[in-house]
Amino acid sequence: MKTTGLITRRQAIVAGLASVGGLVLARHPKDLPPTYGNLLRMGDTFTYAAHRGLLPHQSLVKEYRHADITSFPATGTTNPGVSEKSALGDAYRQLQSGAFADWRLSVEGRVTTPRSFSLAELKQLPSRTQITRHTCEEGWTAIGQWTGVPLSRVLDAAGIQPAARFVVFHSYDDWVDCIDLVDALHPQTILAHGMNGRDLPIQHGAPVRLRVERQLGYKSMKYLRRIVVSDEFDDGGKKGNIQNGWAWYTGI
Amino acid sequence: MVEVLDDRRRASGAQQPHARWVRISHGIVTASLLTLAFTGFVILMAHPRLYWGEVGNDLTPALFELPISRNYQHGGWDKSTPFFQNAAGPISANRTYDIFNQNGWGRSLHFLAAWWLVLPGAIYLVAGIFGGHFRSHIWPKVTELAPRLIWRDVVNHLRLRIPPASGGPHYGLMQKLAYSLVVFVAAPLMAATGLAMSPAVTAAFPSLLRLFGGFQSARTIHFFTFVALLLFVLVHVVMVIQSGFRRQIRAMTVGD
C-alpha cells in the first residue's frame, strides 16, 4: 500500500513540475530571444521565460522619498563627445554645444506614423517623476529621481503596429539594445530628460536616457538617438550586449 | 568483485545504503554549489565592497572592502559634483578606472547553476519531507537532544574521535544538526537573499526587500551565508576523509 502511495506522490511531483515548466516555456518562439546554442544564453532565456511566465507583468518597483536620494556614480560612457572617435561623437559634440536644441529622437519601424521628437516636444508631453533604485550588474546601487515621458506614450503617439514585439534603442555611444513589449509598455519605463530635479547631466546620459526599472542598470540606455519598433529580436550585432558577452534579459 | 559483494552484504546487514535519489541529488547539488561559489566570487571581485541597507556604491561608505581584485580601493574617480545646493549632500563622479569585471559570463553562469540548485533542491525537499528521509535520517530525535548527549558528541568531535564510515544515512548528532542547518536554513536563505537582489522579482514581491532590510543588506547576508556554507563544506570534506574517504565516496556515488 505504501509503495502505491509513493508512486502517486512521485507522479504528483512530476506532474507539478511539468505544469510549471509548461507554463514557463509555452511561449511563442518569436517572443523568446535566441539561445545561439550557447549554454549561458539558454540559462538567460530560461530565466526570462520564468519571469514572464510566473511574475505579474504590471507590478511596479519600489519608489522612494526625496530624502532617500543618494550619491550616484557615473560609469561606462560619461561623454560620447569625448570617447566616440567617429561621426557619432562629432554629432554629439555639436548637439551638446547647442544645448541639445537640434537633438531629435526618431521613432520608426513597425509604427503607423514614423516621426521624431525634439527635446522641447518631449518635455511638453505629460511626464512622470519617479525616485527609484538603480541596480548595477557590478553589485552597487544608487537612488535617483528621474523625470521623463513614459515610453508607452511616445509609442502610442507613433501608433505601434500589432506585429510589434520588441523596441530597439540606438545611442550616441554607438550601442544597440532592445526590450520586450512587457517592459516597453510598463508604466515606470520612461524616456528620462531630468535627474534629481535638473536637466539630465552629460555623464548620466544627456539629453535623454531610458529607464527600465525592473532590469539592471545597463538596460537603461544613455544618450538615446533612435527608437525602432520591431517584429523581430535585434541583438545589435557587434554593438549589442550578446556579442559582447552580456545577457540580454537582466531582470535578475 | 568479491570485495564489492562483501561491501553490499555489510551494507544490507548493518546499514542501509544511501538511496539512489539522495545520491543523484547530492551529485547535482555538489556541481551546482561549486559553480555558484566560483562565479559568486568572480562577481564579488567586480565590486568587493559590502554595505547595509538599500544603497551602497563607491561614493557612499562601505561596511568593509575585500582585497580580492584590482578594484580594491581603486580610487579612480574624477572630481565630484553635488546634485543639490547642499555640497555635503549626494554627489556624482565619473569613474576613470578600468575595473576588473567578468560579470558577463559570471552572472549568467551563476544563475544557470542557481536553477540547478533551486529546481532539484525543491524536488529534494518535497521528496525528503513526504518520503520520510528527513524524519528518519536528518532531523535529530528529541531523545538525542539531551544536554548530556550533545556535550558528549561535541567532546568527541573536539578530540577528533570520528567513527568509521557506515556507508549510509546513519548520522551522528552534530552531523544531523549541521545537515539540518544547511538544508533548512542556509540554502533557503541563500535563495531568498539571491531573489531579493533581482529587480524584477522584488517588484513583484517587495516584502523580500523589507525582510532583509534592503538590497545591499540582502547582498551582505548572501555573502556571509556563503562563508558559512564554505566552512560547512570544508568540515564536511575533512570528516569524509577522516572517516574513510574511499568508502564514503563509493557510498555517495555508486551506492555500495
Residue A19 is assigned to a structural domain of this protein? no
Q: Quote the domain boundaries for residue A88.
A: 59-244
Cβ–Cβ gap A78/B130 under 8 Å: no
Using the Cβ of A71 and the Cβ atoms of chain B, whether some distance falls under 8 Å is answered with yes
Place of cell 514614423: A114
- Going by C-alpha positions, the residue among B107, B98, B29 that lies closest to residue B70 is B98
Q: Is B213 helix (H, G, I), strand (E, B) or coil?
A: coil
Task: Tell me the longest C-alpha to C-alpha distance in chain A.
Answer: 83
Average pLDDT over residues A157-183: 97
In chain A, the number of structural domains is 1
Q: What is the pLDDT of residues B196-219, one digit of tens each?
A: 999 999 999 999 999 999 999 999
Question: Given this model, what pLDDT does residue A156 score?
Answer: 96
B153: its cell numbers: 558528541
Q: Tell me the shortest Cα–Cα distance from A145 to chain B, in angstroms.
A: 11
Q: Which residues on chain A are in Cβ contact (under 8 Å) with B56? A: 140-141
Nearest CA in chain B to A16: B123
Q: Encode B82-123 in three state secondary structure.
A: ECCCCCCCCEEEEECCCCCCCHHHHHHHHHHHHHHHHHHHHH
Question: Given this model, what pLDDT does residue B2 score?
Answer: 39
Q: Encode chain A in three state secondary structure.
A: CHHHHHHHHHHHHHHHHHHHHHHHHCCCHHHCCCCCCCHHHHHHHHHHHHHHHHCCCCCCCCCCCHHHCCCEEECCCCCHHHHCCCHHHHHHHHHHHCCCCCCEEEEEECECCCEEEEHHHHHHCCCEEEEEEEECCCCCEEEEEEEEEEHHHHHHHHCECCCCCEEEEEECCCCEEEEEHHHHCCCCCEEEEEECCEECCHHHCCCCEEECCCCCHHHCCCCEEEEEEECCCCCCHHHCCHHHCCCCCCCC
Average pLDDT over residues A43-63: 97
Using the Cβ of A56 and the Cβ atoms of chain B, whether some distance falls under 8 Å is answered with yes
Residue A100 is assigned to a structural domain of this protein? yes
Q: What is the pLDDT of residues A208-226, one digit of tens each?
A: 999 999 999 999 999 999 9
A220: its cell numbers: 537603461
**pLDDT interval class at A26 (50, 70, 90):** low
d(C-alpha B4, C-alpha A117), whole Å: 78
Cβ–Cβ gap B104/A247 under 8 Å: yes
Q: Tell me the shortest Cα–Cα distance from B93 to chain A, in angstroms.
A: 5
Residue A51 is assigned to a structural domain of this protein? no
Interface predicted TM-score (ipTM): 0.91
Q: Which residues on chain A are in Cβ contact (under 8 Å) with B92? A: 71-74, 201, 203-204
Residue A194 is assigned to a structural domain of this protein? yes
- Going by C-alpha positions, the residue among A188, A100, A190, A92 that lies closest to residue B200 is A188
How many CB atoms within 10 Å of residue A47? 23
Question: Given this model, what pLDDT does residue B160 score?
Answer: 85
Question: Given this model, what pLDDT does residue B256 score?
Answer: 83
- Is CATH 3.40.50.920 what the domain over B2-75+103-253 is classified as, yes or no? no
Is A177 within 8 Å of A168 (Cβ atoms)?
Answer: yes
Using the Cβ of A138 and the Cβ atoms of chain B, whether some distance falls under 8 Å is answered with yes
Cβ–Cβ gap B199/A6 under 8 Å: no
Place of cell 574624477: B78
How many CB atoms within 10 Å of residue B58? 24
Cβ–Cβ gap A70/B198 under 8 Å: no
| CA B37 from centroid of its chain's CA atoms | 8
| Domain ranges (residues) in chain B | 2-75+103-253
A205: its cell numbers: 546620459
Q: Is the pLDDT of residue A252 over 70?
A: yes
Q: What is the pLDDT of residues B84-123, one digit of tens each?
A: 999 899 999 999 999 999 999 999 999 999 999 999 999 9
Q: Is B153 helix (H, G, I), strand (E, B) or coil?
A: helix
| CA B226 from centroid of its chain's CA atoms | 5
Q: Would you say how long chain B is, in residues?
A: 256
Average pLDDT of chain B is 93
Q: Which residues on chain B are in Cβ contact (under 8 Å) with A214? A: 199-200, 203
Q: Is the pLDDT of residue B152 over 60?
A: yes
User: Between residues 103 and 122 of chain A, which touch chain B (CB distance below 8 Å)?
Assistant: none
Is A108 within 8 Å of A170 (Cβ atoms)?
Answer: no
- Domain of A150, CATH number, reads 3.90.420.10
Looking at the partner chain, which of A46, A51, A247 has a beta carbon nearest the beta carbon of B107? A247
Residue A33 is assigned to a structural domain of this protein? no
Cβ–Cβ gap A40/B43 under 8 Å: no
Return all residues near B178 (Cβ < 8 A) that are at least 6 apart: B232, B235, B236
- Going by C-alpha positions, the residue among A42, A57, A197, A239 that lies closest to residue B89 is A197
pTM greater than the 0.95 cutoff = no
More confident residue, B195 or A19: B195
Cβ–Cβ gap B105/A245 under 8 Å: yes
Nearest CA in chain B to A11: B127
Nearest CA in chain B to A74: B94
Q: Which amino acid is at B225?
A: T
Radius of gyration of chain B (CA): 23
